[in-house]
Chain A
Amino acid sequence: MPEGARGETAAQVIDIDALTFSYGSRKVVDLEQFQLAADESIAVIGSSGCGKTTLLHLLAGLLQPATGSIRILGHDITAMSGAQLDRFRGEHMGMVFQRLFLMPALSVHQNIALAQRLARKPRDHARIDALLEQLGIAEVSHHKPGMLSQGQAQRVAIARALVHSPALVLADEPTSALDDEHASQALTLLKDSTAAVGASLLVVTHDGRVRGQLDHEFNMSALS
């Protein structure tokens, strides 16, 4: 298991070098350099099919690159085994998707506790309650996801991504299905929450409403 959690001297949370990835003969990702410092946020934008979601999956260790290296918190995740990657991902990353994939059988509190457990963190109900309070959904703590509004569910997904205090939060199209008001709320919430836990944030989106909202912006379409 690679050493190095948050607090290590790694200046960059993400450090990509000469990264390529192809689907068959079609090169989808071709990045010479890409970095994201701790406590910073970045929006990876671009048209559909430009490879931004693929980049997110590569960063999460869900795909293996053809060439190049990806260092997260100073650790080359491309050199990790599958089990090491699973563990690393669970401990140091939080993920939010357009579809939230909350466990329908579990309550809000249990959903968040599951993430805590899979991150190999000791169960901390106070932490969960505080997070729910912070996100304004404490009253639905024992509700099942099916009983929540879209906004509430999104907050639960964000709480789940942050409960284990990850170093990096990866978000894939978190606002695409939301109206302007809710999109703005969701993005603000995501940004503020990650900042509150000291996590870096990378948002992959084609939603123009995100532009200018985060510290940095990286257009994948410009690479094509």
Chain B
Amino acid sequence: MTWLRLAFANLSLSPLTTAVNVLLMALGTASIVLLLLAGVQLAETMSRDAKGVDLVVGAQGSPVQLVLSAVYHADVPPGNIKLNEAQRWADDSRVATAIPVSLGDSFRGFRIVGTTKAYVDLYNAQLGAGRIWSAPMEAVLGAAVAEAAAMGVGSTFAGAHGLVDGGHTHDAKPYRVVGVLAPTGTVIDRLVVTSLESVWELHAEEGAHDHDHDEDHSGDGHDEEAGQAEEHHHEEEHDHEAEHAHEEDHHHEEDHHHEEGHDHEEGHQHEGEHHHEEEGHHHAEGDHHDEGEDHHAEGDHRDEGEGHHEEGDHHHEEEDHHDHDEAHHEHHADEDHGESDDGHAHDADTDHNAHDHDEDVEITALLLSYRSPLAATTLPLDINAAGALQAAAPAMEISRILQLVGVGMTALGAFAWVLVATAALSIFAALYGSLRARRGELAMLRCLGASRFELLLYLIVEGLLMSLLGVTLGFLAGHGMMELVGNWLASTRGVVMTGWIWAPAETLLLLGLFLVGALSAIVPAIQAYRTDVARTLAEG
């Protein structure tokens, strides 16, 4: 206690030097602590968000992008996949659970996720208010979304096209909030969750509004809405055909198709055949039903010439998108066209309410969990080998992401350690520099009865005191900054990070910094230990 008091008193003699040394140490420590806490919590958050998701199946592309988009909602997805293709893997015996997610829209920067109720269960999310959706265009808000938007059950909002704020809003099709989730500390807090059908419905609407082909359809007796819906499917079908490597020039087809007044014969033949099944079907059933009836009224033209075959295929697929029953279409595809591509297109018939078996229905990704850990060795390989889809394991991608982030963190950490080293050197310089001036005092202390070891202790205590003051301030500042950053992230991004945690590595850090402080004082302390009292006193 004597030496601590004496050391403290000594430090107060040169407040500026002490303050600079303490500040340097505090800055270095705070930087390290902040990086440490952020890194630990980032890893924890990423692991927590991916808990229960062993594998993500999505479009081919970057696996990191796939995981970032489908699990963390922090990137744009590499593309969409056909639900029925994904379903094949969902039904695989090695899969325990499969949760589809469909992205595309957002609300005030928070992503709208079309999914199933299993997605809510995945994060053990409890309802804070209201209920889970039970119909299209009903939405459940994550806790952070509800807080940021100051919305609750009964509120309505329009989703914006795209995954970032500022896109075109679907004003005509607002969502109605039916539930708000309690905070979970996971990614779902900052999501708007709804049914897959909601997303599909909006996309159908969006597609319809995006293309102005109304005249052709209305000219053929379509009502406007029917025409819009149908045109949306035109677009979808072209995309689909492109995906399936059709040799035809689809743009040419489309031009041809429209310029020729939208050859409804092919479409009509199918509509005519299947219109009875359209009734009561998906969200656009009203439009499509009308359309189907119109087509039906125009008669069955399925036997029209081969010269229109390509167009026919095309139109046929377009119409399929609306309403047709899969089995029925498959039959006619084989019968009428006998081409695998066409047949495939038929398979993709989109009954949005019975989407499980619809080929043209797209989702963004499928989140799988393994029935057994052994699946990890075969399932991803099988999916990737199949070619059409990509499988990415979040655990592996987290590791990659953290490695990437780790490069930056390491650089920042190195800089922080440079600050600590600078502080240690500064403390060393201050102590060492003061030794000459204090030699007489140290000698006097020996004369008063202090041992060599006590002088060693005295100098180490003095050095450590500066270090520990800096380290203490640094820890407080680091945790304080983390809390501030955490509050900001929570209010703006719904990311849960806090400064009020103690990472296990901090104990090691504390010991390390303690050691650095001791090392900075050890040389001056040894000098003090070796003080030649007689000589010092003789020299005056």
Contact = CB atoms under 8 A, between A and B. Distances in A.
A222 interface: no
A43 interface: no
A105 B537 contact: no
B5 to A, nearest CB: 8
Contacts of A99: 440, 540
Interface in A38-97: 53-54, 57, 60, 62-63, 82-83, 86-87, 89-91, 93, 95, 97
A118 interface: yes
A105 B9 contact: yes
Nearest to A146: B13
Contacts of A98: 540
A186 interface: no
A5 to B, nearest CB: 14
Contact of B537 (A110, A117, A172): A172
25 contacts: A53-B537, A54-B538, A62-B447, A62-B534, A82-B451, A86-B450, A89-B447, A89-B449, A90-B448, A90-B450, A91-B449, A97-B537, A99-B440, A99-B540, A101-B443, A103-B9, A105-B6, A105-B10, A114-B448, A115-B448, A115-B449, A118-B449, A119-B448, A119-B449, A120-B449
Given A63-B534, A97-B537, A99-B540, A90 B6 contact: no
Contacts of A90: 448-450
Given A63-B534, A114-B448, 20 more contacts: A54-B538, A57-B534, A82-B452, A87-B449, A90-B448, A90-B449, A93-B447, A95-B444, A95-B447, A97-B444, A97-B537, A99-B440, A101-B443, A103-B9, A103-B441, A104-B13, A106-B9, A110-B9, A115-B449, A118-B2
Contacts of A93: 447
B533 interface: yes
Contact of B448 (A53, A82, A118, A172): A118
Interface in B393-450: 440-441, 443-450
A120 B449 CA distance: 9
B12 interface: yes
Interface string A150-166: 00000000001000000
A62 B533 contact: yes
B9 A101 contact: no
B446 A62 contact: yes
Interface string B436-470: 00001101111111111100000000000000000
B70 to A, nearest CB: 64
Nearest to B450: A118
Nearest to A121: B449
B465 to A, nearest CB: 13
A153 B511 CA distance: 43
Interface in B294-344: none
